[in-house]
Amino acid sequence: MKLMQCKQGASSTSSDHTKGIGIVQLLRGKNFLITGATGFLVKVLLDPILRTNPDVGKIYVLIKAKDNEAAMKRLKNEVEDTELFRCLQEIHGKNYHSFVSSKQEIHGKNYHSFVSSKQVPVVGNVREANIGIAPELAKEIAEEVDVIVNSAANTTFDERFVKLY
């Protein structure tokens, strides 16, 4: 079962992005900090940002993990390799040699090199002081970020009841 159809020309080269209220132009070159990145809502946000605006700046992705390696692995497995990113994968060619270069390869040699050039995994936890980010990294992010999207949520739905016992 296919969840969605990828439209030919659904990338930044589509001419219909010059119409509308100018969100694509507004986001061009902007840097983001996104929390809750492994959740569904952020996946739905990241795909159209990267697909329609490949000129967006860095996207710092806050991920609860023990270290950078675990954060990168979680970002790849739980976000980049999901079905929601299928259109983006097709546009950028998940496997470089599986697509015709002139038609499918728009922004780099393959999908993973494109998304890794945009997304920066940041180890942290919104339940900790300063969202669990080291002070030096927090300063760097604060100086670079233009847009913050907080989509973090507690998915322990019975937490208040568990704490009672």
> Is the pLDDT assigned to residue 58 strictly greater than 50?
yes
Q: What is the pLDDT of residues 8-36, one digit of tens each?
A: 444 444 445 556 678 888 889 999 999 98
Angle between helices 111-118 and 40-52 (to 10 degrees): 100
Indicate the length of the chain as a whole number. Answer: 165
Q: What pLDDT band is residue 54 in, cutting at 50, 70 and 90?
A: confident
Phi and psi at residue 3, to the nearest 5°: -80, -30
Cα(79)–Cα(138) distance, integer angstroms = 23
Q: What is the pLDDT of residue 136?
A: 94
pTM over 0.75: no
Catalogue all structural domains in the chain, each as residue range(s) with its CATH number.
28-154 (3.40.50.720)
What does the pLDDT read at residue 96?
Answer: 36
Give per-residue pLDDT as tens, 100-158: 333 344 544 577 778 888 889 999 998 899 999 989 999 999 999 999 999 887 766 66
In this predicted structure, what is the pLDDT of residue 112?
72
Q: Coil, strand, or helix at residue 156?
A: coil
Q: What pLDDT score does 1 carry?
A: 41
Higher pLDDT, 85 or 12: 85
- Please report the pLDDT score of residue 32 as a whole number: 94
The band of 160, judged by pLDDT with boundaries at 50, 70 and 90, is: low
Nearest one of 138, 131, 122, 130 to 68, comparing CA atoms: 122
Q: Which residue has the higher pLDDT, 56 or 114?
A: 56
Q: Which residues of 74-98 are buried (b: 16+ CB within 10 A; e: fewer)?
A: bbbeebbeeeebbbbbbbbbbebee
| Across 62-77, average pLDDT | 90
The position carrying tokens 């990294």 is 137
Structure tokens at 32: 């983001």
